[in-house]
């Protein structure tokens, strides 16, 4: 895996060096270099069903509005963007950035900002009057010392419980669990009924599961304090939360390659539950090849993850303007599409997310998404760990490593100490 990643990095950096060389000529540049200069490299991790559909919808708008630019899809496969971020880091360290890249709004981008890799986007927010049509708490999360560094395309909810109505009914369960204790009891009922109680994917999906279990076990206020100077990672409440995580993992099926096949186990009736973000809705609902064409309230159902009803654990996908972008004008043109009402209304219903703008066409957001818009307007807020709102990349990596070791040894005391050490290393 490491060799493949390093090879991909080498190829990608070499390609970017070639592109940079082609685009740096004078007025007498060749036709081939002029073509290269028109290319706009959009770097993301949107390759899966639903998310790729949304990206292509925005691409169509970009290409319609910008005949002088050519869209280049530089998406890197891998759930939650872990592999994409590794490759991106190599590009930025080599001072060979893409024209624009996807990042989670919040703490995830702080390392790039501090190292001077991103341009401020205040000029774009002022030009498009974006601060008038985006929630203040979102503007605060993507700003550092009054400067905005990314354009948020959407809002996602992380703490979602997806379940198969027929499977849970067969197990004697009449309603989604409201608490962690109820959830554990329901997992046992499903196990006795002969189905997979909860499906999981690759390692990042376990970090995603952990954040919902922590919030559901500790409560929203205590969860939010984990990212402050008042954090308590070593106390008995955290120990209990991690014991809950261990118990829930004990009911998990065989890990799947990524979140999509794990979610599909629920839709196909092989598993009862899956805790995943609301991008799963687009995957469940969209027809092939973008999704699996299932029917809500029949093939799949949803609720807040156990213990988190009334709390919206949020994240936001956004795009940046790297310093030294080979085609800065093309990147700005892409950012304008990502920020626009038209772009967000094209993207979000397919992606399974709600817009970051408040002035979009709400009639386009039906079923789960209509519910989600309502929840966003009234719920308490908590930030996602895995998806970059509350922790920077170094802290998230330390948590991910701790989860990976815990998946193997199931040692709660060792796991808790690793999380304590990760928080201390972060400066908390």
- Per-residue pLDDT of 365-401, as tens digits, reads 999 999 999 999 889 989 999 999 999 989 999 999 9
* Confidence class for position 19, pLDDT limits 50, 70, 90: very low
Quick check: 290 pLDDT over 90?
no
Question: What b/e sequence results for 36-62 when a residue is b if at least 16 CB atoms lie within 10 Å of its CB, and e otherwise?
Answer: bbbbbbbbbbbebbbbbbbbbbbbebb
Name all domains of the chain by residue range, CATH numbers in brackets: 2-14+35-155+315-374 (3.40.190.10), 157-313+385-425 (3.40.190.10)
Predicted TM-score of the model (pTM):
0.83
pLDDT digits (tens, 9 = 90+) for 167-198: 999 999 999 999 999 999 999 999 999 999 99
pLDDT digits (tens, 9 = 90+) for 60-118: 999 999 999 999 999 998 766 778 888 999 999 999 999 999 999 888 898 899 999 99
Quick check: 127 pLDDT over 90?
yes
Q: What is the chain's Cα-based Rg?
A: 22
Q: In whole angstroms, what is the distance from residue 154 CA to residue 353 CA?
A: 6
Q: In whole angstroms, what is the distance from residue 85 CA to residue 77 CA?
A: 11
* Average pLDDT estimate for 186-212: 98
DSSP 155: E
What local confidence, expressed as pLDDT, does residue 312 receive?
A: 95
Q: In whole angstroms, what is the distance from residue 16 CA to residue 411 CA?
A: 44
Q: In whole angstroms, what is the distance from residue 150 CA to residue 322 CA?
A: 10
Lowest mean pLDDT among 10-24, 230-244, 386-400: 10-24
Token couple for 150 = 């990314």
Closest CA to 138 of 105, 102, 98, 101: 105
* Confidence class for position 34, pLDDT limits 50, 70, 90: low
Q: What is the DSSP string of 216-254?
A: HHH-HHHHHHTTSTT--SSSHHHHHHHHHHHHHHTTB-S
Name the strands in the sheet holding 380-383, side by side, starting at the edge strand that comes first in the sequence: 354-355, 154-157, 311-315, 380-383
Quick check: 35 pLDDT over 60?
no
What local confidence, expressed as pLDDT, does residue 27 receive?
A: 39
Q: In whole angstroms, what is the distance from residue 312 CA to residue 146 CA?
A: 25
Helical spans, DSSP H, in 78-219: 82-93, 110-114, 122-128, 136-141, 165-170, 180-192, 203-218
Give, for 22, the enclosing helix (H) or strand (E): helix 2-22
What local confidence, expressed as pLDDT, does residue 5 receive?
A: 34
């Amino acid at each position: 895996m490491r060799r493949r990643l390093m090879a991909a990095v080498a190829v990608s950096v070499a390609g970017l060096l070639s592109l940079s060389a082609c685009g740096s000529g004078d007025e007498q540049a060749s036709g081939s270099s002029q073509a290269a200069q028109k290319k706009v490299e959009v770097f993301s991790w949107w390759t899966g069903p639903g998310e790729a559909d949304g990206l292509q919808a925005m691409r169509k708008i970009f290409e319609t509005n910008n005949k002088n630019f050519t869209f280049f899809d530089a998406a890197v496969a891998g759930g939650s963007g872990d592999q994409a971020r590794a490759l991106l880091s190599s590009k930025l360290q080599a001072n060979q950035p893409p024209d624009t890249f996807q990042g989670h709004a919040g703490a995830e981008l702080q390392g790039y900002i501090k190292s001077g890799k991103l341009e401020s986007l205040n000029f774009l927010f002022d030009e498009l009057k974006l601060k008038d049509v985006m929630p203040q708490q979102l503007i605060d999360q993507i700003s550092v010392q009054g400067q905005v560094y990314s354009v948020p395309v959407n809002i996602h909810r992380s703490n979602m419980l997806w379940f198969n109505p027929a499977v849970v009914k067969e197990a004697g369960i009449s309603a989604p669990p409201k608490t962690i204790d109820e959830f554990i009891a329901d997992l046992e009922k499903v196990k006795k009924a002969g189905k997979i109680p909860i499906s999981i994917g690759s390692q990042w999906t376990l970090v995603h599961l952990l954040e919902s279990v922590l919030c559901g076990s500790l409560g929203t206020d205590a969860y939010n304090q984990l990212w402050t100077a008042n954090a308590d990672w070593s106390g008995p409440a955290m120990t209990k939360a991690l014991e809950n995580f261990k118990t829930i993992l004990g009911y998990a099926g065989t890990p799947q390659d990524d979140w999509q096949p794990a979610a599909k186990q629920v839709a196909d009736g092989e598993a009862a539950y899956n805790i995943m973000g609301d991008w799963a809705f687009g995957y469940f609902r969209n027809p092939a090849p973008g999704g699996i064409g299932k029917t809500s309230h029949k093939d799949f159902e949803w609720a807040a993850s156990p213990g988190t009803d009334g709390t919206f654990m949020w994240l936001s996908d956004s795009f940046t303007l790297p310093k030294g972008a080979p085609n800065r004008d093309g990147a700005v043109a892409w950012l304008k599409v990502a920020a626009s009402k038209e772009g967000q209304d094209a993207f979000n219903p397919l992606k399974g997310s709600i817009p970051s703008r408040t002035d979009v066409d709400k009639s386009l957001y039906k079923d789960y998404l209509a519910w989600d818009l309502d929840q966003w307007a009234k719920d308490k807020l908590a930030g996602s760990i895995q998806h970059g709102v509350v922790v920077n990349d170094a802290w998230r990596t330390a948590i991910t490593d701790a989860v990976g070791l815990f998946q193997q040894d199931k040692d709660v005391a060792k796991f808790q100490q690793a999380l304590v050490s990760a928080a201390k290393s972060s400066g908390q």
